[in-house]
């Protein structure tokens, strides 16, 4: 029975749906069975996706965990932060994947505490367990105009061709985005500037940078931007991009080895207002005009960046003006490989 074999390869809880088809295993069908299993084994390399999270527990404080099958294994005794885990991996000339697996096995051998992932999906509060940003990145940078649709729509809005020129240029758009204290954690509040009337979601894949130009991990990011301010004049870009609550990323880190094909990540974005979905969009990293290593290379050029820096890689989802964020909106950004990032929206007060 091929279905039984497939279940044995993938295991339970891997979110693979297998049709229960039975075969009489003649020689010819057996060959087909073998080919099917080989294909499933390739798929299942990304099926057990090891995710790293940081979270808070009352009376325990900040914790670090490995998410496996909706259960979080506490590895804080081995690694006090995901950044420390990454730094140790680099010191030992190992991948983050290897370091995380070793930490998980050590935590299991110690019968470390576990938490249901669902129990951590709460707004930040000193009284409730909740997720934190998945890495304490000293710097968050952004890349823009990496999707053709983004270039075309931004040119149309600004009545220039500067974005299309960047899209086809050898040099990408790279900009400083945020420091950690400007970023909202998962289920935390992203913000609208007090002087903006059209602040938009920018749903993106972000990469974590190590020592070289290859990403060490991936996560979801909301590069919240005041589009109306940027459209007044491109020189206003920093004011459009950088302010309190201008970014969120998470809910976890997925290592390069576990993410599968990083150019086949489908990102879905949804804005919910008073219980109704007012906007839905979708894009795929297969539409990226730049390679991740190219973007990281330009970011690092003559610009020393700390280990664990987050680089968000641009959006292919362009909300219309009627989907401009307002206070109380809920934004959901989701990917099969990277999970779901959820944030509530607040409006900053004028000073």
- Predicted confidence band of residue 164 (pLDDT cuts 50, 70, 90): confident
Phi-psi region of 208 (alpha: psi -120 to 50; beta: other; left: phi over 0): beta
- Predicted confidence band of residue 152 (pLDDT cuts 50, 70, 90): low
- Predicted confidence band of residue 277 (pLDDT cuts 50, 70, 90): very high
314 and 204 in one domain?
yes
Q: Could you tell me which residues are beta bridge partners of residue 253? A: 52
Using the 3D structure, point to which of 106, 131, 156 is the last residue of a domain. Answer: 131
For the chain, report the end-to-end CA distance as a whole number of angstroms. 68
CA-closest candidate to residue 204, choices 120, 288, 302 = 288
323 and 193 in one domain?
yes
- What pTM did the predictor assign? 0.85
224 and 91 in one domain?
no
148 and 37 in one domain?
no
User: Cα(157)–Cα(228) distance, rounded to whole angstroms?
Assistant: 9
Q: Is the pLDDT of residue 30 over 70?
A: no
Mean pLDDT score across all residues of the chain: 86
3-state helix, strand, coil in the chain (%, to 5): 30, 30, 40
Q: What is the pLDDT of residues 34-88, one digit of tens each?
A: 333 333 333 334 345 679 999 999 999 999 999 998 999 999 999 999 999 999 9
Contact 183, 242 (CB under 8 A): no
What whole-number percentage of the chain has pLDDT above 90?
Answer: 79
Rounded to an integer, the average pLDDT of 230-252 is: 96
- Predicted confidence band of residue 17 (pLDDT cuts 50, 70, 90): very low
Strand (E) or helix (H) holding 273: strand 266-273
59 and 172 in one domain?
no
More confident residue, 316 or 3: 316
224 and 149 in one domain?
yes
CA-closest candidate to residue 177, choices 14, 311, 16 = 311
- Give the chain's domain count: 3
Question: How far from 127 is each of 58, 59, 103, 120, CA to CA, in Å?
Answer: 6, 9, 28, 12
Q: Which domain holds residue 24?
A: 2-44
User: Cα(347)–Cα(326) distance, rounded to whole angstroms?
Assistant: 7
Those residues whose C-beta lies under 8 Å from the C-beta of residue 3, and which sit 6 or more positions away, are 18, 19, 20, 21, 22
124 and 221 in one domain?
no
Contact 328, 273 (CB under 8 A): yes
190 and 246 in one domain?
yes
155 and 110 in one domain?
no
Contact 217, 208 (CB under 8 A): yes
57 and 30 in one domain?
no
222 and 120 in one domain?
no
Using the 3D structure, point to which of 131, 160, 177 is the last residue of a domain. Answer: 131
Domain with residue 341: its CATH number is 3.90.850.10
CB atoms within 10 A of CB 4: 11
């Amino acid at each position: 029975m091929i279905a039984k074999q497939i279940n044995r390869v993938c295991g339970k809880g891997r979110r693979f749906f297998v049709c229960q088809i039975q075969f009489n295993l003649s020689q010819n069908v057996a060959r087909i069975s073998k080919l099917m299993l080989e294909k499933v084994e390739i798929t299942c390399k990304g099926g057990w996706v090891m995710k790293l999270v940081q979270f808070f527990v009352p009376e325990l404080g900040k914790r670090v965990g490995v998410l496996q099958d909706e259960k979080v294994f506490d590895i804080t005794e081995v690694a006090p932060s995901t950044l420390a885990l990454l730094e140790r991996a680099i010191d030992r000339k190992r991948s983050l994947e290897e370091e995380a697996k070793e930490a998980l096995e050590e935590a299991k051998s110690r019968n470390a505490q576990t938490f249901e992932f669902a129990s951590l999906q709460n707004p930040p509060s000193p009284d409730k367990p909740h997720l934190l940003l998945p890495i304490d990145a000293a710097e968050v940078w952004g890349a823009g105009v990496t999707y053709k649709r983004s270039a075309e729509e931004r040119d149309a809005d600004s009545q220039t061709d500067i974005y299309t020129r960047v899209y086809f240029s050898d040099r990408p758009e790279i900009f400083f985005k945020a420091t950690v204290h400007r970023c909202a954690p998962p289920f935390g509040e992203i913000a609208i500037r007090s002087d903006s009337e059209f602040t938009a979601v920018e749903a993106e894949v972000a990469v974590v940078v190590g020592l070289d130009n290859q990403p060490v991990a991936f996560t979801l990011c909301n590069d919240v931007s005041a589009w109306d301010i940027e459209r007044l004049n491109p020189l206003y870009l920093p004011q459009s991009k950088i302010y309190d609550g201008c970014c969120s990323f998470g809910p976890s880190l997925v290592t390069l080895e576990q993410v599968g094909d990083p150019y086949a990540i489908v990102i879905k974005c949804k804005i919910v207002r008073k219980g109704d979905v007012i906007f839905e969009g979708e894009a795929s990293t297969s539409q990226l005009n730049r390679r991740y290593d190219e973007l990281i290379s330009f970011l690092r050029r003559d610009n020393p960046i700390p280990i664990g820096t987050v680089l968000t890689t641009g959006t292919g989802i362009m909300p219309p003006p009627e989907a401009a964020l307002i206070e109380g909106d809920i934004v959901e950004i989701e990917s099969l490989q990277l999970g779901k990032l959820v944030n509530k929206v607040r409006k900053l007060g004028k000073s």
